Amino acid sequence: MTQKNLLKAERVAFILDELEKRYPNPPIPLDHNDPYTLLVAVLLSAQCTDERVNKVTPKLWQLADNPFDMAMQTVEDIQVIIRPCGLSPQKSKAIKVLSEMLVANHNGQVPQDMAILETLPGVGHKTAGVVMAQAFGVPSFPVDTHIHRLAQRWGLTNGKNVAQTEKDLKRLFPKERWNDLHLQIIYYGREFCTARGCHGLVCPICTTCYPNRKHPKVIKKP
């Protein structure tokens, strides 16, 4: 007997349950000590693996682990340390300048405000969302390329862009689950629904939501 593809409400309920079973207490993947070190770590993670960032940041924290000390460092000294993370010229300058801005404008504190965070160099909407969620516990749903890809495979968004995907996910899932879901989807994607390992045809969530899917899901890139 042919199984039916799940309706959207059924997919949402199944995904919530499946992710909670697999990752009931998802840890924050980037090592950090406070909102400032999380902000810098997330900035460094752009186009870089969390694993590599976690190898680099201990040495960076030895140089400076707060905006007051970081603002006193040269861009060159910062860049030498963070080079393995890629894009080091841009990232090192952003780290120094945002540290100077935090000292000058916010008494050295990371502001608990999405709009203000987005004005800092090197801090886009996704990075600001991660800091709001993981440093301050404010409900947020940062969407990176992994989440954008999985949301399309699971039929939760039309995939026009990451901004639309974020809106769709926030509409579908309860607000109190957003922060954990962001991490749970990332962990699930890494383990089961990788960019080249599933294509919407292999992992438990894809095959449960779409048992009749015969061809790889074409993903609209952000």
pLDDT per residue as tens digits for the range 188-221:
999 999 999 999 999 999 999 999 999 999 988 8
* Number of domains observed in the structure of the chain: 2
Q: Would you place residue 167 in the very low, low, confident or very high pLDDT band (cuts 50, 70, 90)?
A: very high
| Active-site residue, selected from the candidate residues 59, 91, 113, 144 | 144
- 84 and 104 co-located in one domain: yes
Residue 165, domain extent: 8-26+141-209
6-10, long-range: CB < 8 A, 24+ apart: 6/208, 6/209, 6/210, 8/155, 8/156, 8/172
Residue 144 appears among annotated catalytic residues: yes
Domain of 190: which CATH number? 1.10.1670.10
Residue 130 and residue 55 share a domain: yes
Q: What is the CATH number of the domain that holds 68?
A: 1.10.340.30
The answer to whether residue 93 is catalytic is no
The pTM for the full model equals 0.92
Question: Which is the catalytic residue, given 91, 96, 126, 168?
Answer: 126
Claim to verify: residue 56 and residue 119 sit in the same structural domain: yes
